Homo-oligomer: A and B are copies of this chain.
């Protein structure tokens, strides 16, 4: 905590007075009371961004799926499990927010009807699982965005990173899209470092070198702070 506060003191205060909402981690969709579908997001990038925004003077709310990380100091952390819960937590807070950074790896699908008892093996060959699409939180946030609000999205891709990122940027009305690879040894999921490419609304791109997630968080906020004063 002492080191944390020292880092906070040494950070630029370019987000003072700004309200920042960060989402982080995976979401977790129940199959039954014991089984679930999730993804390999560790939450580290989102927690690093929430901590960095707090260092820079912002009032930060962190909406987090299940992770094993300690909540950042001086940040209001809201724990959720499912994509629906995350959506409600974000929508209910976004009107009162200047900057929204959606780092969470939100599950695209949920089980249509989770069982209320543990599903027993049937002795049959398998179990067909009917998955339905979850609400697209980033798209909805982009659609509800008010003048002056800055929305930052993340794209985690195993293939065709740039093409997928540009399509996402266009489809979701975000101001900045941070794309990071999640395939093989280069994966951002679970790692302490990350290699991001930034895609801006005006069509420009910026490739950042691989760096520590805490450092990357500040590099991203350097850009966001400039977008937020425009």
Give A residues with C-beta under 8 Å from B: 31-41, 68, 105, 107-109, 112, 117-121, 125-133, 156-159, 164, 182-184, 187, 189
Set B36, B108, B164, B184: member contacting A40, Cβ < 8 A = B36
Inter-chain CA distance A119–B133, complex, in Å, is 12
**Contact A127–B131 (Cβ < 8 Å):** yes
20 contacts between A and B (CB under 8 A): A33-B187, A34-B40, A34-B41, A34-B105, A34-B182, A35-B37, A35-B107, A36-B39, A109-B126, A109-B127, A112-B126, A117-B159, A121-B133, A125-B132, A125-B133, A126-B130, A126-B132, A127-B133, A128-B128, A128-B129
How often does this chain occur in the complex, in copies? 2
Look across to chain B and name the residue whose beta carbon is closest to the beta carbon of A33.
B158
Q: Give complex CA distance A115, B68 in Å.
A: 27
Given A31-B37, A33-B158, A182-B33, also A126-B118 (CB < 8 A): no
Q: How far is the CA of A121 from the CA of B168 in the complex (A)?
A: 12
| Chain B residues in 8 Å Cβ range of A189 | 34
- Beyond contacts A33-B184, A35-B39, A109-B126: 14 other A-B pairs, Cβ-Cβ < 8 A, are A34-B105, A34-B158, A34-B182, A36-B40, A38-B38, A68-B68, A108-B121, A109-B127, A118-B156, A118-B157, A126-B130, A126-B131, A127-B133, A129-B131
Smallest CB gap from A68: residue in B: B68
**Complexed CA–CA distance, A125 and B119 (Å):** 24
- Asked, given contacts A121-B108, A126-B131, A127-B131, whether A38 binds B35 with beta carbons under 8 Å apart, the answer is yes
From B36, B125, B129, give the contact of A129 (CB < 8 A). Answer: B129
- A34: chain B residues within 8 A (beta carbon): 39-41, 105, 156, 158, 182, 189
Chain B residue contacts of A38, Cβ below 8 A: 35-36, 38
Which residues does chain B contribute within 8 Å of A105, judged by CB atoms? 34
Q: If A68-B68, A132-B126 touch, does A118 touch B33 (CB 8 Å cutoff)?
A: no
Minimum C-beta distance from A25 to chain B (A):
13
